[in-house]
Copies of this chain bind each other. A is one copy, B any other.
Amino acid sequence: MCSIKKDKLIIGGRTLNSRLFIGSGKFPSKSIIPSVIESSESEVITMALRRVDLDSKEHNILNFIPKGIQLLPNTSGARTAEEAIRIARLARAMGCGDWVKIEVVRDNKYLLPDNMETIKATEVLAKEGFVVLPYMSPDLMDAKRLVDAGAATVMPLGSPIGSNRGIRTEEMIKIIIDEINIPIIVDAGIGKPSEAAFAMEMGADAVLVNTAIATAQDPVIMGRAFGMAVEAGRLAYEAKLGRVLNRAEASSPLTGFLGDKI
């Protein structure tokens, strides 16, 4: 799988130049979305199906997404596998394409995903030809089950959705990166560009960011910041970071200077 991990990210047969996925919720106005897509250079945007209102030009989020951008409808609102499956099929029928991000959430406070239901939905939808990107609680055994169920990627969370708390599940995500051979996309909780860069340095294949961009004072500039940070983190991963020492190591000659040279 090394060829997938290096160079370009390929998901569902599509080659992506950007490893930043963005969300479409929480923006002060939908009309800012095209500028954020441009500044961030993101090529994938997720949206809740409720926002796809075919009858209304103003309210239909699809009218704000430029051509060529990969739509990633999500099953937000689903509380069971069955509901997620139903939403996914509906999205495809409405012309949103084959990609779907599975979100099955039954916890109203922390909005944590239900892995078991997510695995069930993934299995059904992958068989129906969907490119399935499941949002998950970072658990290795469930990540393996998602691979077996036909997931195109796994999307472990960094911390609760919308919290901007960063990557608090580093230990588990590192293990998933070490053991799972489909693309790993860190989703939820990333609040700063430095955290997005850190995810990429660890070896994640992409990140999804919504709240941190949408609720920034200037979402367009913040989108650009995230786009650059994700690329920086990926470059660092490819250029191989040096070792961490317990003590210092001089960058410059420390002794003999004055005696020798002056």
Q: Please give the residue numbers on chain A whose beta carbons come within 8 Å of chain B beta carbons, in ascending order.
A: 23, 25-26, 47-51, 74, 76-78, 83, 86-87, 90, 103, 105-116, 137, 139-142, 145, 159-165, 168-172, 175, 178-179, 191-195, 197-198, 201, 210-212, 214-219, 221-222, 224-229, 231-233, 235-236, 238-258, 260-262
Contact = CB atoms under 8 A, between A and B. Distances in A.
Contacts of A107: 140-141, 179
Contacts of A194: 194-195, 197-198, 201, 229, 233, 236
Contacts of A252: 23, 25, 47-48, 50-51, 74, 76-77, 103
Most B C-beta atoms less than 10 A away, residue of A25, A239, A240: A239
Contacts of A163: 244-249
A242 B51 contact: no
Contacts of A25: 250-252
Copies of chain A in the complex: 4
A86 B109 CA distance: 38
B241 A191 contact: yes
A112 B143 CA distance: 12
Nearest to A141: B114
Contact of A193 (B48, B142, B197): B197
A109 B257 contact: no
A140 B247 CA distance: 14
A251 B210 contact: yes
